[in-house]
Structure 1
Amino acid sequence: MGCICSYGPNKQGGKDPTDGDKNAKIRPLPEPTDGKTVDPTYLKKEVVAFTAKLNIAHSTPYHQGALKLVDVVTNEGNGYSPETGHFVCPLKGLYFFTVHMSVAGRAHCEIYKNGESVTTLYDTSHPHDCSQVATISTIVELKEKDKVWVNLWGHGRHEIIATEDNDTVFVGFYLGYILLLDIHRYIRPDIPTAMDLEDYFSTGRVAFTAKLCTDHSRPKNPGPMKFSMVQLNEGSSFNGESGVFTCPRDGVYYFAVNASIYGRGHCAIYKNGEKVASLYHANSGDDRCTQVASMSSVLKLAKKDEVWIQVFGSRYDILATEDNDTVFTGFLLG
């Protein structure tokens, strides 16, 4: 999946074709010696992943623009900068990002890519003396040097908090296969052995991010939610009109839904008509406000299995507005 790889020595004691440069990108495979397959080698992917937290001193920021989460927990690949709050892509490919925002009052933030909003989150906690956690996630395709960050929207006080017991966290990682596998598992005799492995692995990518459009806000009927604003659909397995993901290949998959709710919302992740993980969130009454509720699951799927988000119950106060996104995301783990 567009990964940075290095080769180990082959069984004949051959030289590492990357000439010892662990950051070299995959090169075309050498011609096989037996006429069928290349010599057995091993692939190891460079990891690109980070976790950063808001520092207590930066709690309830007043500024507009990038939120600087300076307490870096993990920064594999050195793509995240605590000085700017930006993740600068070191390796082209697909990336998953999520922000978990502790809120005590009102807060509005967005995940930005190169200055453009990808997905937005607005959350209000009532009563105002309580704290809640709101989450938003997305998958984006990046080129080297593309930038992604958490952006604060609007002027004035943002009641995003960081305390000893409440963390606000920004997480991102590269969606490549974590490979330490014999090359024979992937290269068949009928595949040209001199092809570029980067192109070969890219054909197996399966990932999608889709948002509820404003026309489908507060769905009127139970059943699959139609996430028709499809932002990314690697593998072409998600159908925005039906809201259903159809598995293109056997494997283990991750799915998540971030639902903006004003009132009561009840939905669940479904697999082949069976409920897997359910979410119910209510903020009704005089203190009704917009809040974000999230649910996720890892599922083992066979080809043609179907996964979707289904609403049920008597009220469907799940929103999609200019400032409130409801997002369905999924990707192949391996």
Structure 2
Amino acid sequence: MKILLHLILIVGSYSLSTEKKEENHDGSSKVSTVLNEILNRESLVRLSMVQKMQTLMLGAVEAKQRDETLKENLENIEKELQAIRDGHEKYREENQKVQENLRNDIRQLQEIQAGAIDDLKNIYWNFSLIVNETCKSEQVQKIQSQLQSGLLKEIPGNYAFYAQLTTSTSDNDVIFEDVITNEGSAYNGNTGIFTCKYSDSYAFSWTIATSNHRYTEAELIVNDEVIGSSGTDSRSHSDTADSSTGFVVCNLKIGDKVRVAINGTADGIYSTFSGWRIGENYSSFYAKATSTLYKPFSSLHGLPFQSVVVNNGYVYDSDNGTFTCPTDGLYVFVCTFEARDGKGFPVYFHHEGSKLSAIPIQPDASSGKYADTSSTLQIFSMSRGDEIYLYPTDSDSAIQPVHSTFSGWRISSASKISAFMAYTSIDLSSSPMKYNKELLDTTSSFMSSYFQAPEDGVYLFFWHMHANDIRLESFLQVNDRTVGQTIGDATSSAYEGSSNLAILRLRKNDRVKITHDGTADEDQTMISGYLLFN
């Protein structure tokens, strides 16, 4: 019985133990299941994060590749741009070489021509000896004279003249008989004719004054061809005098003859004629307006003077009215504008859309005048590639053709050659003139009220006076001696400009000044000048 009881107890204990083990096993299984779920979720999160990181890394790699591709494209573009720059520079150098070769060819042709002339001269003299021995007829002598005139010898040198008209003259060639300067003796005060002694580029200026309600047309004639013209109008009911100044640049050959002819009356003293050799600098031009010029649409373009008579060095572009500087140096620009039909407007020299000078050129026919002209001569220091052009500020500007011109040339590549330019920004009645705005003075020779010659030489002077409601005369003086005059009457026309140009041989320390007999109006009243040669 005891054994049985022990067996029952042992079996019960085993059963209880087995049940507890089963309960423990079930608990462990649940924990394991939860842990597995957590691990599975963490793995999914990690897998998702890995996938995202891989995506980001792929994106970064692709971005880097795009950056490298873009950088490579930019480098290629830069190489192409540099190739274009190199090609442009090469073209510019080649163009310069072509121009230089052309200049050399021209010089060689001139030398060949000179040699041929010498040969022809020898042939002529031999022919002349034979003819003289056989015949003395007038016909043969005429042939000899014609041959000799065609065999004139080139005489290099500095040529410049300045002459005044002493008494009034009408409807004829004008003989400016008071010859003040005649360097090279190429101007004849008895005939009023300049005869070219050396083939080259020359500039000419003439001023014609008229009075008593007359209109005078003047022409500058080379041989029998009209190269330039100007109009002087004193027809207003109260004005008693007016003057106008014209400019031309022309290429002359030995023997060419230059003169001024008028249709109307030129008054003495105020009417003058000047000319000077520019020199072989291949950077001069002369252009005329053949139709009315209006304000350009863009301030980056100038008035396009359509007829380009002279363009040495191809420096002037008539399509956009622009002069492009070929080499560094000092340059002179001259122009004359004519207004009609009651119009008056200012025109300025411009560079890259801005005024290069505060001095306007302003013809004014707005009050009582049938026609009015205004002229200027301004000097600028320029660098190669600089552009300069004329631009009117008024929208209704209308520049008349024929008498309106634009010219320019290089003075010198040396920056220290004596040159100056000044104007007054205030009305001035005191005399002599005091120009309070100095724009240029390369040798510190201009002292507000006078110019003092820094060295012996031949100098050019241009001055412009502007009157407001008065008659105004001015006097160019050297050491208090009058050598040039202007006259302008604005009694009824409100405003009137007058100008003149003189070429004078000065000694060192000679003083040049402007005196006047009335109030000079601001801005347009100016003076400029430079050394032509020693």
TM-score, normalized by length of structure 1?
Answer: 0.71
> Is 1:227 equivalent to 2:300 in the alignment?
no
Please say if residues 249 and 303 of structure 1, whose CA atoms lie closer than 8 Å, have aligned partners that are also in contact. yes
The two structures, once aligned, show a CA RMSD in angstroms of 2.3
Give, in whole Å, the separation in 2 of the partners of 1:25 and 1:62: 35
Give, in whole Å, the separation in 1 of the partners of 2:239 and 2:193: 31
Displacement after TM superposition at 1:243 (Å): 0.3
Give, in whole Å, the separation in 2 of the partners of 1:113 and 1:317: 29
Out of 151, 160, 171, the residue aligned to residue 63 of structure 1 is 171
Rg comparison, structure with higher value: 2
Give, in whole Å, the separation in 1 of the partners of 2:261 and 2:298: 34
Give the aligned partner of residue 312 of structure 1: 393
* SS in structure 1 of the partner of residue 362 of structure 2: strand
Please say if residues 264 and 315 of structure 1, whose CA atoms lie closer than 8 Å, have aligned partners that are also in contact. no
Give, in whole Å, the separation in 1 of the partners of 2:228 and 2:331: 22
Give the aligned partner of residue 326 of structure 1: 404
Matches within 5 A, 1:5-84: 46-56=157-167, 59=168, 61-64=169-172, 66-84=173-191
Give, in whole Å, the separation in 2 of the partners of 1:143 and 1:213: 26
Displacement after TM superposition at 1:128 (Å): 5.3
* SS in structure 2 of the partner of residue 111 of structure 1: strand
Give the aligned partner of residue 228 of structure 2: 119
Q: Name the stretch that deviates more: 86-95 or 204-213.
A: 204-213
Out of 216, 219, 223, the residue aligned to residue 110 of structure 1 is 219
Aligned residue identity for 2:268: A
Give the aligned partner of residue 18 of structure 1: none
Aligned residue identity for 2:332: Y
Higher relative contact order (CA 8 A, sep 6+): 1
The 1:47/1:128 distance shift into structure 2, 3 A limit, reads farther
Give, in whole Å, the separation in 2 of the partners of 1:271 and 1:124: 33
Displacement after TM superposition at 1:273 (Å): 2.9
Give, in whole Å, the separation in 1 of the partners of 2:394 and 2:298: 7
Give, in whole Å, the separation in 2 of the partners of 1:142 and 1:210: 16
The 1:122/1:128 distance shift into structure 2, 3 A limit, reads farther
Give, in whole Å, the separation in 2 of the partners of 1:264 and 1:142: 36
* SS in structure 2 of the partner of residue 283 of structure 1: coil
> Is 1:92 equivalent to 2:173 in the alignment?
no
Out of 212, 233, 236, the residue aligned to residue 289 of structure 2 is 212
Out of 125, 129, 140, the residue aligned to residue 250 of structure 2 is 140
Give, in whole Å, the separation in 1 of the partners of 2:373 and 2:238: 16
Aligned residue identity for 1:206: S
Give, in whole Å, the separation in 1 of the partners of 2:374 and 2:258: 23
> Is 1:303 equivalent to 2:413 in the alignment?
no
Give, in whole Å, the separation in 2 of the partners of 1:298 and 1:272: 18
Is there any run of 5+ residues in structure 1 with no aligned partner, and where? 4-23, 27-44, 177-201
* SS in structure 1 of the partner of residue 335 of structure 2: strand
Give the aligned partner of residue 283 of structure 1: 365
> Is 1:261 equivalent to 2:261 in the alignment?
no
Residue by residue over 1:284-324, the C-alpha shift from the partner in whole angstroms, topping out at 9 and shown as x without a partner, is 24x2311210122100000110010111113213101xxx4
Aligned residue identity for 1:299: F
> Relative to total residues, which structure has the larger helix share, 1 or 2?
2
Aligned residue identity for 2:261: N
Please say if residues 99 and 137 of structure 1, whose CA atoms lie closer than 8 Å, have aligned partners that are also in contact. yes
The 1:128/1:220 distance shift into structure 2, 3 A limit, reads farther
Aligned residue identity for 1:76: E
Aligned residue identity for 1:211: K
Out of 335, 354, 359, the residue aligned to residue 274 of structure 1 is 354
> Relative to total residues, which structure has the larger strand share, 1 or 2?
1
Displacement after TM superposition at 1:271 (Å): 2.8
Displacement after TM superposition at 1:219 (Å): 4.7
The 1:136/1:54 distance shift into structure 2, 3 A limit, reads same
Displacement after TM superposition at 1:127 (Å): 3.6
